[in-house]
């Protein structure tokens, strides 16, 4: 399928989605009007025997409305999936190869729960989902990233509550300084950091920068690791990154760095509320890619052994 | 009776505070000592790597008259001043090795030398980390013993301020490293 065919098909799917959403809301409203008019006509003195009875129409409507809503929502969901797939195939897959090598992109799947647990970033709840998995090599650095949502659902029987532990993007990439046992850094406003990643007993460390200590919590199994990894230059770069992303959590272990950025989801996701323009979408993908590059550059700049 | 109770209560509070402060100062002092050993480990690693580098450089300089002198040797129980001097002599040696390497392209491209350069870069980062950790612990310890009312307990313990480990540029010239 050429670009032009893909764009036409995307537009067709987008219009169809708008129609399906419109029908989902429209059918119950029209049905209610219909039922109302029946009530009105049967109550009027001129009502004849041939007038449909509201008492018969009510159960039929009660069956028709939910069934039609469910069917329409299923159709809309299928339509949206097809739209998303075509968008990613048309715009994302080809673009990624321009920026990274050894690209592997799987928009339907993400990290496994076990992988995310081993990242040492967030507490693990009992609801987990991950999608938009991307793996590639940038400047000899192998990286993986995916959108991740972790929630804890609690049900007492009488009431239920859901707490979101983490919703954002997680990265895993090779880190040149590989002699680190266990080091975790997180923004002070992140309340659900994993308490003892990889089973290490962690101790809190204060660094020389008052500003950094005010914004971040640093925990490590060995104090030396914290001072070895977090150089004054890296402190500055993390501070700069945190002005863009409010809540971050990172974990260094062995030769890997795991990074979680809250609130930063829907990478490479298409907008369905407006007509697509090829140059605009290319630019949107470029911006998403640039975000990934900025994160990798920030965390690995001047760290070379 | 009430007055006696109050006096005993106050004494108990003072005793608990004294013990807690005493222990806290001891723990801080211990942390300073531990982090100082980190500096010694890093200095030793740096010394070993530099010695190997000097051997490699000497190999390239055999036909010349000038010979690299030894770096200030490390030994256990060095004072802070001696540590600084040793560190400064290593800085000097490193810069002189770099000067020699500039004149010998074969040396720069030698596999062994490249590997040693990478090792020394890592060792120096570890030394920096050890130095920053030590200085952070010294800051915390010094702040603890000079602030009131901790200074009362520190005085009774004869605790004195610890010296920072900073490479002083001026002192580097004291250690002569000639080729």
Would you state the pLDDT for residue A12? 87
Interface check A41 vs B, CB under 8 A? no
Would you state the pLDDT for residue A181? 81
B177 located within any domain? no
Across B166-173, average pLDDT: 48
Question: Taking 80 as the threshold, does the pLDDT of residue B64 lie above it?
Answer: no
Q: What is the CATH number of the domain that holds B28?
A: 1.20.1440.20
Tell me which residue range forms the domain holding B102: 2-172
In A139-179, beta strands by DSSP E: 141-155, 160-174
Q: How confident is the model at residue B71 (pLDDT cuts 50, 70, 90)?
A: low
Across A195-220, average pLDDT: 89
B128 located within any domain? yes
B155 located within any domain? yes
User: A250 to chain B nearest CA, in Å?
Assistant: 19
Across A49-77, average pLDDT: 79
Burial B2-20 (b: 16+ CB within 10 A, else e): eeeeeeeeeeeeeeeeeee
Q: How confident is the model at residue A38 (pLDDT cuts 50, 70, 90)?
A: confident
Would you state the pLDDT for residue B65? 45
Would you state the pLDDT for residue A151? 95
List the 181-240 stretch of A: residues with Cβ below 8 A of B: 206-208, 223-224, 226-228, 231
Quickly tell me which residue has 């039929």 as its tokens.
A60
List the 146-185 stretch of A: residues with Cβ below 8 A of B: 177
B17 located within any domain? yes
Q: In this complex, do B130 and A207 lie within 8 Å of one another by their Cβ atoms?
A: no
Instruction: Name which of B114, B127, B136 to mutate to probe chain A: the one with the most chain A Cβ atoms within 10 A of its Cβ.
Output: B136
Would you state the pLDDT for residue A247? 92
Across B11-17, average pLDDT: 95
Q: In this complex, do A231 and B38 lie within 8 Å of one another by their Cβ atoms?
A: no
Measure the CA angle with vertex B89, ends B88 and B90; round to 5°: 90
Interface check B132 vs A, CB under 8 A? yes
Instruction: Let me know if B76 is exposed, middle or buried by CB neighbors in 10 A (0-12, 13-18, 19+).
Output: exposed
Give the list of residues 6+ apart from residue A88 with CB closer than 8 angstroms, or none: A105, A107, A268, A270
Q: How confident is the model at residue B61 (pLDDT cuts 50, 70, 90)?
A: low
Q: How confident is the model at residue A304 (pLDDT cuts 50, 70, 90)?
A: very low
B132 located within any domain? yes
List the 53-112 stretch of B: residues with Cβ below 8 A of A: none
What's the total number of domains in chain B? Answer: 1
Question: Taking 70 as the threshold, does the pLDDT of residue A276 lie above it?
Answer: yes
Would you state the pLDDT for residue A36? 83
Question: Taking 70 as the threshold, does the pLDDT of residue B62 lie above it?
Answer: no
Question: Taking 80 as the threshold, does the pLDDT of residue A259 lie above it?
Answer: yes
Question: Taking 80 as the threshold, does the pLDDT of residue B72 lie above it?
Answer: no
Would you state the pLDDT for residue B110? 80
Q: How confident is the model at residue A274 (pLDDT cuts 50, 70, 90)?
A: confident
Question: Taking 70 as the threshold, does the pLDDT of residue B172 lie above it?
Answer: no
Q: How confident is the model at residue B174 (pLDDT cuts 50, 70, 90)?
A: very low
Distance (Å, whole) CA A92 – CA A87 = 7
Would you state the pLDDT for residue B5? 92
Question: Taking 80 as the threshold, does the pLDDT of residue B154 lie above it?
Answer: yes
Residues in chain B within 8 Å Cβ distance of A206:
136, 140
Q: What is the DSSP letter of A195?
A: S
What element of type H or E holds A136? Answer: strand A127-138
Give the list of residues 6+ apart from residue A266 with CB closer than 8 angstroms, or none: A147
């Amino acid at each position: 399928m050429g670009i032009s065919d893909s764009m036409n098909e995307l537009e067709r799917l987008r219009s169809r989605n708008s129609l399906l959403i419109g029908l989902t809301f429209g059918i119950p409203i029209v049905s209610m009007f219909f039922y109302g008019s029946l009530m009105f006509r049967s109550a009027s003195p001129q009502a004849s025997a041939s007038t449909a009875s509201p008492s018969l129409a009510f159960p039929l409507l009660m069956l028709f409305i939910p069934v039609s809503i469910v069917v329409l929502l299923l159709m809309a969901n299928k339509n949206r999936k097809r739209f998303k797939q075509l968008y990613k195939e048309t715009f994302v897959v080809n673009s990624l190869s321009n920026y990274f090598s050894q690209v592997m992109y799987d928009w339907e799947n993400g990290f496994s729960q076990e992988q995310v647990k081993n990242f040492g970033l967030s507490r693990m709840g009992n609801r987990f989902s991950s999608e938009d998995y991307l793996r590639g090599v940038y400047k000899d650095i192998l990286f993986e990233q995916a959108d991740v949502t972790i929630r804890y659902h609690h049900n007492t029987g009488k009431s239920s509550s859901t707490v979101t532990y983490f919703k954002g993007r997680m990265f895993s990439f090779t880190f040149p300084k590989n002699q680190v046992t266990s080091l975790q850094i997180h923004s002070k406003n992140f309340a659900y950091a994993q308490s003892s990643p990889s089973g290490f007993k962690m101790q809190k460390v204060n660094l020389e920068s008052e500003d950094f200590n005010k914004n971040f919590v640093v925990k490590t199994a060995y104090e030396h690791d914290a001072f070895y990894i977090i150089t004054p230059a890296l402190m500055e770069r993390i501070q700069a990154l945190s002005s863009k992303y409010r809540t971050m959590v990172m974990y260094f272990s062995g030769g890997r760095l795991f990074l979680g950025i809250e609130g930063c989801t829907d990478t490479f996701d298409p907008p369905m509320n407006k007509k697509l323009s090829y140059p605009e979408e290319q630019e949107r993908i470029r911006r998403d890619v640039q975000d990934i590059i900025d994160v990798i550059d920030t965390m690995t700049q001047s760290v070379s052994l | 009776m009430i007055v006696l109770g109050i006096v005993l209560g106050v004494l108990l509070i003072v005793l608990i505070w004294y013990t807690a402060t005493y222990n806290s100062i001891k723990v801080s002092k211990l942390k300073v000592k531990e982090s100082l050993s980190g500096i010694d480990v890093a200095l030793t690693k740096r010394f070993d790597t530099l010695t190997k580098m000097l051997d490699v450089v000497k190999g390239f300089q055999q036909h010349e008259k000038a010979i690299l002198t030894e770096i200030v040797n490390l030994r256990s129980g060095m004072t802070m001043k001696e540590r600084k001097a040793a560190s400064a002599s290593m800085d000097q040696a490193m810069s002189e090795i770099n000067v020699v390497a500039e004149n010998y392209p074969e040396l720069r491209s030698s596999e062994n030398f490249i590997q040693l350069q990478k090792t020394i870069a890592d060792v120096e980062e570890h030394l920096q980390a050890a130095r920053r950790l030590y200085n952070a612990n010294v800051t915390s310890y010094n702040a603890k013993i000079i602030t009131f009312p901790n200074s009362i307990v520190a005085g009774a313990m004869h605790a004195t301020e610890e010296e920072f480990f900073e490479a002083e540029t001026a002192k580097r010239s004291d250690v002569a490293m000639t080729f």
